[in-house]
Protein backbone atom coordinates (compact mmCIF):
# COMPACT_ATOMS: atom_id res chain seq x y z
CA UNK A 1 0.00 0.00 0.00
CA UNK A 2 1.36 3.40 -0.97
CA UNK A 3 1.11 6.60 1.02
CA UNK A 4 2.00 9.27 -1.53
CA UNK A 5 3.29 12.68 -0.48
CA UNK A 6 3.66 15.21 -3.31
CA UNK A 7 5.87 18.23 -2.68
CA UNK A 8 7.07 21.16 -4.76
CA UNK A 9 10.77 20.51 -5.05
CA UNK A 10 13.83 18.52 -4.05
CA UNK A 11 14.47 20.41 -0.81
CA UNK A 12 10.90 19.78 0.39
CA UNK A 13 11.23 16.12 -0.56
CA UNK A 14 14.39 15.90 1.55
CA UNK A 15 12.62 17.60 4.49
CA UNK A 16 9.65 15.21 4.32
CA UNK A 17 12.00 12.22 4.09
CA UNK A 18 13.95 13.55 7.06
CA UNK A 19 10.78 13.71 9.19
CA UNK A 20 10.04 10.05 8.43
CA UNK A 21 13.61 8.95 9.13
CA UNK A 22 13.89 10.93 12.37
CA UNK A 23 10.70 9.34 13.66
CA UNK A 24 12.33 5.92 13.20
CA UNK A 25 15.62 7.00 14.77
CA UNK A 26 14.07 8.48 17.91
CA UNK A 27 11.10 6.12 18.11
CA UNK A 28 12.99 2.81 18.36
CA UNK A 29 15.45 1.54 20.98
CA UNK A 30 17.60 -0.02 18.30
CA UNK A 31 16.55 1.39 14.93
CA UNK A 32 17.62 -0.59 11.87
CA UNK A 33 17.85 1.59 8.79
CA UNK A 34 18.24 0.39 5.21
CA UNK A 35 20.13 3.07 3.31
CA UNK A 36 20.73 4.00 -0.31
CA UNK A 37 23.26 5.86 -2.42
CA UNK A 38 22.74 8.02 -5.51
CA UNK A 39 22.05 11.74 -5.77
CA UNK A 40 18.53 11.62 -4.32
CA UNK A 41 19.35 10.86 -0.64
CA UNK A 42 22.07 13.50 -0.32
CA UNK A 43 19.63 16.22 0.81
CA UNK A 44 18.12 13.87 3.40
CA UNK A 45 21.56 12.85 4.67
CA UNK A 46 22.61 16.52 5.03
CA UNK A 47 19.52 17.11 7.16
CA UNK A 48 20.30 14.09 9.34
CA UNK A 49 23.84 15.38 9.89
CA UNK A 50 22.62 18.93 10.61
CA UNK A 51 20.03 17.62 13.08
CA UNK A 52 22.65 15.51 14.85
CA UNK A 53 24.91 18.54 15.15
CA UNK A 54 22.23 21.02 16.23
CA UNK A 55 20.02 18.81 18.40
CA UNK A 56 22.30 15.97 19.43
CA UNK A 57 20.00 13.30 17.96
CA UNK A 58 22.00 10.18 18.71
CA UNK A 59 22.82 7.39 16.26
CA UNK A 60 24.78 5.33 18.81
CA UNK A 61 22.16 2.57 18.76
CA UNK A 62 21.36 2.79 15.07
CA UNK A 63 22.24 -0.15 12.84
CA UNK A 64 22.41 0.34 9.07
CA UNK A 65 22.41 -1.86 5.99
CA UNK A 66 23.15 -0.42 2.58
CA UNK A 67 21.40 -1.67 -0.53
CA UNK A 68 24.38 -2.31 -2.72
CA UNK A 69 28.06 -1.95 -3.55
CA UNK A 70 30.24 -2.18 -6.64
CA UNK A 71 32.33 -5.32 -7.06
CA UNK A 72 36.06 -5.01 -7.55
CA UNK A 73 36.87 -1.61 -6.09
CA UNK A 74 38.93 -1.39 -2.89
CA UNK A 75 36.82 -0.11 0.01
CA UNK A 76 38.66 3.24 0.16
CA UNK A 77 38.29 3.96 -3.59
CA UNK A 78 36.57 7.33 -3.94
CA UNK A 79 33.64 5.83 -5.85
CA UNK A 80 32.70 2.95 -3.57
CA UNK A 81 29.39 3.22 -1.79
CA UNK A 82 31.40 2.66 1.39
CA UNK A 83 33.19 5.98 0.73
CA UNK A 84 29.98 7.70 -0.41
CA UNK A 85 28.14 6.74 2.78
CA UNK A 86 30.95 7.82 5.07
CA UNK A 87 31.43 11.15 3.31
CA UNK A 88 27.74 11.97 2.93
CA UNK A 89 26.33 10.59 6.15
CA UNK A 90 28.26 8.49 8.65
CA UNK A 91 31.22 10.83 9.25
CA UNK A 92 28.78 13.48 10.49
CA UNK A 93 26.98 11.19 12.94
CA UNK A 94 27.92 9.33 16.14
CA UNK A 95 27.13 5.91 14.68
CA UNK A 96 29.69 3.24 15.68
CA UNK A 97 31.52 1.79 12.66
CA UNK A 98 30.60 -1.73 13.84
CA UNK A 99 26.89 -0.91 13.39
CA UNK A 100 27.38 -0.08 9.69
CA UNK A 101 26.82 -2.82 7.11
CA UNK A 102 27.70 -2.40 3.44
CA UNK A 103 28.32 -5.38 1.14
CA UNK A 104 32.07 -6.02 0.84
CA UNK A 105 32.66 -5.50 -2.88
CA UNK A 106 36.31 -6.51 -2.83
CA UNK A 107 35.68 -9.75 -0.94
CA UNK A 108 37.76 -12.68 -2.21
CA UNK A 109 34.57 -14.78 -2.15
CA UNK A 110 31.72 -12.59 -3.38
CA UNK A 111 29.03 -15.33 -3.50
CA UNK A 112 29.78 -16.13 0.17
CA UNK A 113 29.64 -12.41 0.97
CA UNK A 114 26.12 -12.26 -0.51
CA UNK A 115 24.96 -15.13 1.72
CA UNK A 116 26.63 -13.59 4.76
CA UNK A 117 24.98 -10.21 4.10
CA UNK A 118 21.52 -11.72 3.77
CA UNK A 119 22.04 -13.71 6.99
CA UNK A 120 23.11 -10.57 8.86
CA UNK A 121 19.90 -8.79 7.82
CA UNK A 122 17.81 -11.71 9.03
CA UNK A 123 19.18 -11.17 12.52
CA UNK A 124 18.11 -7.54 12.60
CA UNK A 125 14.98 -6.95 10.48
CA UNK A 126 15.16 -3.59 8.75
CA UNK A 127 12.65 -1.10 10.21
CA UNK A 128 12.74 1.25 7.24
CA UNK A 129 14.39 0.88 3.85
CA UNK A 130 15.20 4.06 1.96
CA UNK A 131 15.04 3.68 -1.82
CA UNK A 132 15.65 5.76 -4.90
CA UNK A 133 14.35 4.64 -8.27
CA UNK A 134 16.12 4.42 -11.60
CA UNK A 135 14.57 5.96 -14.72
CA UNK A 136 14.01 2.35 -15.86
CA UNK A 137 12.30 1.40 -12.60
CA UNK A 138 15.29 -0.27 -10.98
CA UNK A 139 15.58 -0.43 -7.17
CA UNK A 140 19.02 -1.05 -5.76
CA UNK A 141 20.82 -2.61 -8.70
CA UNK A 142 17.79 -4.77 -9.51
CA UNK A 143 17.29 -4.02 -13.20
CA UNK A 144 14.21 -4.84 -15.29
CA UNK A 145 13.93 -8.62 -15.66
CA UNK A 146 15.11 -9.37 -12.10
CA UNK A 147 13.02 -12.05 -10.41
CA UNK A 148 10.97 -10.84 -7.46
CA UNK A 149 12.31 -13.86 -5.52
CA UNK A 150 15.88 -12.59 -5.43
CA UNK A 151 17.90 -12.29 -2.23
CA UNK A 152 21.28 -10.49 -2.01
CA UNK A 153 23.04 -11.40 -5.25
CA UNK A 154 25.63 -10.46 -7.86
CA UNK A 155 24.44 -8.42 -10.84
CA UNK A 156 25.96 -7.56 -14.20
CA UNK A 157 25.38 -3.83 -14.58
CA UNK A 158 23.37 -2.75 -17.62
CA UNK A 159 25.02 -0.40 -20.06
CA UNK A 160 22.44 2.32 -19.29
CA UNK A 161 23.12 2.14 -15.55
CA UNK A 162 26.88 2.23 -16.17
CA UNK A 163 26.40 5.31 -18.37
CA UNK A 164 24.21 6.98 -15.72
CA UNK A 165 26.98 6.44 -13.17
CA UNK A 166 29.89 7.29 -15.47
CA UNK A 167 29.67 10.92 -14.37
CA UNK A 168 31.12 9.85 -11.03
CA UNK A 169 34.11 8.08 -12.64
CA UNK A 170 36.79 9.33 -15.01
CA UNK A 171 35.23 7.52 -17.94
CA UNK A 172 32.70 4.78 -18.66
CA UNK A 173 35.61 2.30 -18.84
CA UNK A 174 36.32 2.90 -15.16
CA UNK A 175 32.78 2.02 -14.07
CA UNK A 176 32.68 -1.49 -12.60
CA UNK A 177 30.71 -4.11 -14.54
CA UNK A 178 29.27 -5.94 -11.54
CA UNK A 179 27.73 -5.13 -8.18
CA UNK A 180 26.30 -6.82 -5.10
CA UNK A 181 22.73 -5.81 -4.37
CA UNK A 182 19.97 -6.71 -1.96
CA UNK A 183 17.40 -8.59 -4.00
CA UNK A 184 13.78 -7.61 -4.46
CA UNK A 185 12.67 -10.23 -1.95
CA UNK A 186 15.22 -8.81 0.53
CA UNK A 187 13.86 -5.29 0.06
CA UNK A 188 10.25 -6.41 0.54
CA UNK A 189 11.14 -7.93 3.93
CA UNK A 190 11.73 -4.53 5.53
CA UNK A 191 8.89 -3.36 7.75
CA UNK A 192 8.52 -0.02 6.01
CA UNK A 193 9.82 1.42 2.73
CA UNK A 194 10.60 5.07 2.02
CA UNK A 195 10.86 5.88 -1.68
CA UNK A 196 12.09 9.34 -2.67
CA UNK A 197 12.07 10.52 -6.30
CA UNK A 198 12.26 13.93 -7.92
CA UNK A 199 12.44 15.23 -11.47
CA UNK A 200 10.62 14.58 -14.70
CA UNK A 201 12.97 11.76 -15.72
CA UNK A 202 11.52 9.68 -12.86
CA UNK A 203 7.86 10.23 -13.85
CA UNK A 204 7.50 7.08 -15.98
CA UNK A 205 9.18 4.92 -13.35
CA UNK A 206 6.95 6.33 -10.58
CA UNK A 207 3.89 5.69 -12.73
CA UNK A 208 5.04 2.11 -13.39
CA UNK A 209 5.72 1.53 -9.70
CA UNK A 210 2.29 2.69 -8.54
CA UNK A 211 -0.11 2.25 -11.43
CA UNK A 212 1.58 -0.13 -13.82
CA UNK A 213 1.15 -3.89 -13.88
CA UNK A 214 3.11 -5.80 -11.24
CA UNK A 215 5.82 -7.02 -13.56
CA UNK A 216 9.53 -7.75 -13.67
CA UNK A 217 9.67 -5.15 -16.47
CA UNK A 218 9.45 -2.53 -13.71
CA UNK A 219 11.26 -3.83 -10.60
CA UNK A 220 9.73 -1.09 -8.43
CA UNK A 221 6.23 -2.41 -9.23
CA UNK A 222 7.06 -5.21 -6.75
CA UNK A 223 6.45 -2.59 -4.05
CA UNK A 224 2.71 -2.89 -4.81
CA UNK A 225 3.01 -6.15 -2.84
CA UNK A 226 4.28 -4.36 0.29
CA UNK A 227 1.82 -3.02 2.84
CA UNK A 228 3.70 0.06 4.02
CA UNK A 229 5.42 2.18 1.38
CA UNK A 230 5.80 5.94 1.81
CA UNK A 231 6.46 7.66 -1.52
CA UNK A 232 7.80 11.20 -1.46
CA UNK A 233 7.79 12.77 -4.92
CA UNK A 234 7.98 16.26 -6.33
CA UNK A 235 5.35 17.45 -8.81
CA UNK A 236 7.55 16.57 -11.79
CA UNK A 237 8.06 12.95 -10.68
CA UNK A 238 4.33 12.70 -9.86
CA UNK A 239 3.25 14.24 -13.18
CA UNK A 240 2.12 11.00 -14.81
CA UNK A 241 0.09 9.66 -11.86
- The binding site for ligand PGA (CB under 6 A) comprises 38-40, 132-134
Rounded CA gap, 102 and 191, in Å? 19
Q: Nearest to residue 35, comparing CAs of 69, 13, 64?
A: 64
Q: Name, in order, each residue with C-beta under 8 angstroms of 238's C-beta and a sequence gap of 6 or more.
A: 4, 6, 203, 206
Q: Which is nearer to ligand PGA, 101 or 138 (CB)?
A: 138
Least distance (Å) between residue 27 CB and ligand PGA: 26
Q: Which is nearer to ligand PGA, 99 or 198 (CB)?
A: 198
**At its nearest, how many Å lie between ligand PGA and the CB of residue 38?**
3
Gap between the terminal Cα atoms of the chain: 15
Q: How far apart are CA 148 and CA 188, in angstroms?
A: 9
Q: Please, what's the b/e burial string for 194-217 (b: 16 or more CB within 10 A of its CB; e: otherwise)?
A: bbbbbbeebbbbbbbbbebeeebe
**Which residues are catalytically annotated?**
68, 136, 138, 143
Nearer to ligand PGA, 49 or 61 (CB): 49
d(CA 169, CA 84): 13
**Which residue, 34 or 134, is less far from ligand PGA as judged by CB?**
134
Measured between alpha carbons, how far is 218 from 205 in angstroms, rounded to an integer?
A: 7
| Distance in Å, CB of 237 to ligand PGA, minimum | 10
Shortest distance in whole angstroms from residue 21 CB to ligand PGA: 16
Q: Are 143 and 136 in contact (CB under 8 A)?
A: yes
Amino acid sequence: MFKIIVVDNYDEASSEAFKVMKEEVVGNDKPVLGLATGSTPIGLYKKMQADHKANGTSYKNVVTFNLDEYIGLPKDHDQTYYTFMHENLFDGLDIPESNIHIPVGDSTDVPAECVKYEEAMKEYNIDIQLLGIGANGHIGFNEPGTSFDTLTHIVELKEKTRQDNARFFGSIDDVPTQAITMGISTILKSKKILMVATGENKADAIYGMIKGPISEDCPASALQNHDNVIVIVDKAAASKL
